[in-house]
Structure 1
Amino acid sequence: MATELELKLMVQSEYLKSASDFLDEICTLSDNEEQSRQPTLSLMNAYFDTGEADLMKAGIAMRIRAVNNKFIQTVKTRGSSRVGMHARGEWEWQVPSDKLDFSLLAEVPLPDELKDMSWTNKLVEVYRTDFERQVWNIEAQGSTMEVVCDHGLVTSPYGEDSICELELELKDGSEAGLYHFALELAQQVPVQVSTVSKAQKGVRLKYGQIEFPEKPLNMASRLELASYWYEVWLIYWEAMHFMQDEALLQPVRHSIEELGKYLPVELQKQLISLDGQMDECFMEEELLMIKKLMGMTSVGIAMLEVGQWLNKQVHTD
């Protein structure tokens, strides 16, 4: 098993070339041979679950990935929250075809409700993802990471959703390098932190649900409350884009206001300034407003700086 730790960034399709050019330039100007662009991949992933969504309810994602006529079976668990980052268990096996091999699951600590394996007889393909993946190996602040740019679609019988994102996966070193490089990128290209995985996008097409973190108790610490409102901000922001609903800007701004109560003064000022910029967007028509919001570099920079601060506090505690 590997523990996958990654930072996922939303990016609009019109900014993909800018992101790719920025990453290419980083590699071209580097004297480090380990820092380089890798071959572009075309990936197909089929995700499986029962009609009753037993795997989803248990926090499990199971897929078969096809890459250049080779097949990889993967199981991922929901994992633990890392304040805007993804940290989860991941198991991968090379398999001879696009058929699932259930014997491999002996290595996975399945939850009690799945241990009898009876659900394997009821699995169906519930959605799939098809996308092009550009890949770069990057080093920053002593941390080694794989940066990928994915562009394509999630499809299911219930509809489709776009894939347009950057993922920074930590391979070696500390999270500080991950955030440092993400902030460099965010200063050049409009990106925003996202906590919605491709698997969650597929599930959302069927159930139409937005998942929110559990609200802390009244006696929760300031750090717990800050982490909660930060996650709520990220979720509403992504939902506003997915649903193309400008009305969701109000809960976005409310979550930012609540978050600011638990942050240091400099970050509070940054969020107040950001809220003022958002207020100006109300002068735009609905679709133009969302487009303008998604093109603001200040949003992604604020998300990353708050996320970086929150993660530092978690590690300090």
Structure 2
Amino acid sequence: MATELELKLMVQSEYLKPASEFLDEICKQANETSSRQPTLSLMNGYFDTADAMLMDAGVALRIRAVNQKYIQTLKTRGSSRIGMHARGEWEWQVPNGQLDLSLLNAVPLPESLMDLSWGKDLIEVYRTDFERQVWLIEEQGTQMEVVCDQGVVTSAYGQEPICELEIELKSGDDKVLYEFAHKLAQQVPVQVSTVSKAQKGVRLKHGQIQFPEKPDNTATEFDFAVYWYESWLVYWEAMFYMEDEILIQPIRHSLVQLAYYLSSELKQEVLLLEKALLAASSEFVEDLLPHFGGLKQTGIVMLKVGQWLNQASAR
């Protein structure tokens, strides 16, 4: 098993080329320590039962076709890392596009899935097909894989575009992921996303946005900070998914609530962002979503707050 730790970043399609050019330049300057890899065309089928047993257990099961090879992958929900994706991941090369459930005997499955009786009821519930650009980047002794994915999630219930960057830790210090993401966000407008491709596929059927659970009155101030931060991320992604700029209202509310729990420096940055979003709401009435998607300030502040919260949780 590998533990996959990554930062996922939303990016609008018009900014993919400058993001790619920036990453190419990083590799050029680094000479032998970083390099661009061949671009991949990935076709993925995700499987579940009709009543979503795997989804309910926090498991994603897929077959990926790449370069005439087939890879079976199982991912678990993993642990929360406050705006980062931390998941258990198992991979096996298989001879064709058929699942081999016997391979799951070596995996510590949730109790509800351990007997594998659900295997006879599996169906392909959605697909993800996308082109992946890949860069292997080393900074400060930390090795990262940076990918740029563009394509589509498809199911019987519709389609949703894929347009994102992922920075995955291969070895080294996870704080370097944030530092590198900061460097990228200074050049290209990106925003932190907590929505995986699997969650996008499930969302096509249920049409539901997954919001964090609000802490009760016994929770700490840190718990509330995490809640308002994750609410901000969820509403931000939902605004573009639903193409509904009215969601800027709960986004601004989340920012104001979040600011209360932050350091004085971060509080000021968050409140300045809230004011910038309010001003844009009045100024860019016709093209508000494109303006929001191109605002570098949003991603920069998201990354600063996410890094601060992760560091605070480790103390």
**TM-score range relative to shorter protein:** over 0.9
Aligned equivalents of 1:37, 1:88: Cα separation in 2:
25
Aligned equivalents of 1:142, 1:69: Cα separation in 2:
33
| Counterpart residue number, 1:16 | 16
- Give matches, 1:292-303, under 5 Å: 292-303=291-302
How far is the alpha carbon of 1:281 from its aligned partner? Answer: 1.5
Aligned equivalents of 2:186, 2:136: Cα separation in 1:
20
| Counterpart residue number, 1:227 | 226
- Give matches, 1:236-315, under 5 Å: 236-284=235-283, 288-315=287-314
| Counterpart residue number, 1:158 | 157
| Counterpart residue number, 2:26 | 26
Aligned equivalents of 2:65, 2:79: Cα separation in 1:
28
| Counterpart residue number, 1:125 | 124
Q: Is the 8 A contact 2:151 2:163 kept in 1?
A: yes
Aligned equivalents of 2:63, 2:97: Cα separation in 1:
6
Q: Is the 8 A contact 1:142 1:177 kept in 2?
A: no
Say whether 1:147 aligns with 2:149. no
Aligned partner of residue 94 in structure 1, secondary structure: strand
Aligned equivalents of 1:122, 1:138: Cα separation in 2:
42
Aligned equivalents of 2:87, 2:226: Cα separation in 1:
18
Q: Is the 8 A contact 1:7 1:85 kept in 2?
A: yes
Q: Is the 8 A contact 1:6 1:169 kept in 2?
A: yes
Say whether 1:86 aligns with 2:85. yes
Q: Is the 8 A contact 1:141 1:180 kept in 2?
A: no
How far is the alpha carbon of 1:140 from its aligned partner? Answer: 2.1
1:108-149 per-position Cα deviation (integer Å, ceiling 9, x unaligned): 111111112111011000000000000001122332100000
1:1-27 per-position Cα deviation (integer Å, ceiling 9, x unaligned): 000000000000000000000000000
How far is the alpha carbon of 1:255 from its aligned partner? Answer: 0.7
Q: Is the 8 A contact 1:246 1:286 kept in 2?
A: no
| Counterpart residue number, 1:3 | 3
Aligned partner of residue 5 in structure 1, secondary structure: strand
Query: CA 1:296–1:285 in structure 2 vs 1: closer, same or farther (change >3 Å)?
Result: closer
Q: Unaligned stretches of 5+ in structure 1?
A: none
Match for 1:87: what amino acid? A
Q: Is the 8 A contact 1:24 1:37 kept in 2?
A: yes
Aligned equivalents of 1:114, 1:167: Cα separation in 2:
29
How far is the alpha carbon of 1:271 from its aligned partner? Answer: 0.8
Say whether 1:95 aligns with 2:94. yes
Aligned partner of residue 3 in structure 1, secondary structure: strand
Aligned equivalents of 2:283, 2:115: Cα separation in 1:
56
Match for 1:19: what amino acid? A
Match for 1:179: what amino acid? Y
Say whether 1:51 aligns with 2:50. yes
Match for 1:22: what amino acid? F
Aligned equivalents of 1:78, 1:287: Cα separation in 2:
39
Aligned partner of residue 184 in structure 1, secondary structure: helix
- Give matches, 1:125-204, under 5 Å: 125-204=124-203
How far is the alpha carbon of 1:285 from its aligned partner? Answer: 5.5
Q: Is the 8 A contact 2:284 2:291 kept in 1?
A: no
Q: CA RMSD in A?
A: 0.9
1:244-292 per-position Cα deviation (integer Å, ceiling 9, x unaligned): 0011111111111111110001001001110111011222565611110
Aligned equivalents of 1:140, 1:311: Cα separation in 2:
20
Aligned equivalents of 2:285, 2:126: Cα separation in 1:
30
TM-score (ref. length: structure 2) = 0.98
More deviation, 110-119/3-12: 110-119
Aligned partner of residue 30 in structure 1, secondary structure: helix
Q: How many residues align?
A: 315
Q: Is the 8 A contact 2:215 2:223 kept in 1?
A: yes
Aligned partner of residue 89 in structure 1, secondary structure: strand
Q: Percent identity?
A: 64
Query: CA 1:45–1:287 in structure 2 vs 1: closer, same or farther (change >3 Å)?
Result: farther
How far is the alpha carbon of 1:217 from its aligned partner? Answer: 1.8
How far is the alpha carbon of 1:168 from its aligned partner? Answer: 0.2
TM-score (ref. length: structure 1) = 0.98
Aligned equivalents of 2:16, 2:258: Cα separation in 1:
30
Query: CA 1:29–1:285 in structure 2 vs 1: closer, same or farther (change >3 Å)?
Result: closer
How far is the alpha carbon of 1:211 from its aligned partner? Answer: 0.7
